Amino acid sequence: MTDFGTDWRVVDGVATAWFDAPSLVAGAALAGRIVELSAQSVVDLRATGLRVRLDAAEHAEAVSAAARDLELAADPAVLQQLSVVLESANPSAVRPFWQRVLDYGPGEDGVLVDRLRRDPALRIRQSTEPRPLRNRIHLDVVRPAAAVEQASPGEASGPYGVCHADPDGNEVDLVPGATLGEGTGTADWQAVFSAMACYRVTSPMQQRELAAAAAALAEDTGFPLMVDLRPGLVIIDSGKDQWEADAHGLELDFTDLAGELQTAARELGATADPGLPRFVQLFLDAADVAAVRAFWVAALGYAEDRRAGASDIHDPRRLTPVLVFQELDASETERRRQRNRIHVELAVPPDLVQSRLAATVAAGGRLVDESEGRRRIADPEGNELVIVSGA
């Protein structure tokens, strides 16, 4: 699975490429060709291009040829995949909790994976190291209110009444979403920190037509819509907070665009699945938020949130999870010294490992250890990132 052209790299075991595109419409043209070539491929359409993850590397050359025909160039240097690693003395005890909370399915070697292949995999690994204090890293998960109720992970705590802990004490804020707006014109949509609608489709042609219609409607307004194509599914997503006026800065009420997108989807015969929307982000506690955030910006190639007062950082292509930073009391010295039970793992192509490692060290990181294909780095306060070769 290595000889499939210069456009492609193996990232987290999957043949992957990113093609720059000047617009959503231009990217949708390539996305449409890809799903006709291979209905099982995964396509993430963005305003600046699209990422393609193939079910079979045999389609790589045909996809590259279609991109060249549309004058879209590949950029392998931006490829990466982020996952979350949880270390536990008893993985079999914590795994059911996270499977319910995330609505993930089982993957190889005990990994929990998003069935929609959008949100980060959760890798649960054996560890005997005692770490009794609270992590400085936790997850936020937002799902439709009915899905949160069905997950029923136990009694919640915390200031907002949404914090749950697994048997080891690893925390997640499981937040119920809500419908977007009050009218039937946006009934297909859920507000789950982002505004999202998931449509079932019955053919690659229907999928292609819905992606093209969504791209055209969004481009008319200048809105950087996210359109993800999965087997039998089209996911239309605003991105975190982007449907709010202070985030996108456009002369646009997003609910108007959502209504137009809903009308287009229904006219094409697509059927909304309101239980599917999900949003996942990572929270990091830090005594020196500025220093820790600067490390993660460099390590992940992220950008800072444009809104005043927001501590978020995000993938500029909006392909990997948002990270949010909140201030930790510097007097909690024991908690700051304890290794987290949760850390981040970043898969990049083999030819990019050294440059990414150099960027993390230059941003205040410390190389803790390395082995074949793995480099473990600590940020200025000891939160860990493991850079792995994509192969």
- Are the C-beta atoms of 186 and 179 separated by less than 8 Å? yes
Q: Which of 381, 272, 245, 366 lies closest to 325, judged by CA?
A: 381
pLDDT in tens, 170-197: 999 999 999 998 889 999 999 999 999 9
Q: Which superfamily does 81-177+278-389 belong to?
A: 2,3-Dihydroxybiphenyl 1,2-Dioxygenase, domain 1 (3.10.180.10)
Residues of the chain with CATH 3.30.1360.20: 8-79+184-272
- How much is the pLDDT for 246? 79
> Which DSSP letter does residue 184 get?
G
Q: How far is CA 387 from the centre of its chain?
A: 17
Q: How far is CA 229 from CA 7, 174, 233, in A?
A: 20, 26, 6
DSSP conformation letters of 87-148: EES-HHHHHHHHHHHHT-EE-GGG-EE-TTS-SPPEEEEE------SPPSEEEEEEE-HHHH
Q: Within a 10 A sphere around the Cβ of 375, how many other Cβ atoms?
A: 22
Residues of the chain with CATH 3.10.180.10: 81-177+278-389
Q: How far is CA 61 from CA 15, 23, 66, 269, in A?
A: 12, 23, 9, 32
Residue with token string 């907002």? 160
- How much is the pLDDT for 3? 52
Q: Within a 10 A sphere around the Cβ of 86, how many other Cβ atoms?
A: 24
DSSP SS3 for 380: coil
Q: Which of 200, 110, 128, 203 lies closest to 168, judged by CA?
A: 128
Q: Which of 260, 271, 279, 181 lies closest to 219, judged by CA?
A: 260
Residue with token string 């075991």? 13
pTM: 0.95
Strand segments, DSSP code E, in 39-150 are 42-46, 49-53, 81-88, 105-106, 112-113, 122-126, 137-143
- How much is the pLDDT for 1? 44
Domain 8-79+184-272 has CATH 3.30.1360.20: yes
- Residue ranges of the chain with per-residue pLDDT less than 70: 1-3, 390-391
Distance between CA 322 and CA 303 in Å, rounded?
A: 10
Q: Within a 10 A sphere around the Cβ of 137, how many other Cβ atoms?
A: 21
- How much is the pLDDT for 5? 77
- How much is the pLDDT for 265? 98
Residue with token string 């950087």? 224
CB-side exposure of 359: number of CA atoms within 13 Å? Answer: 16
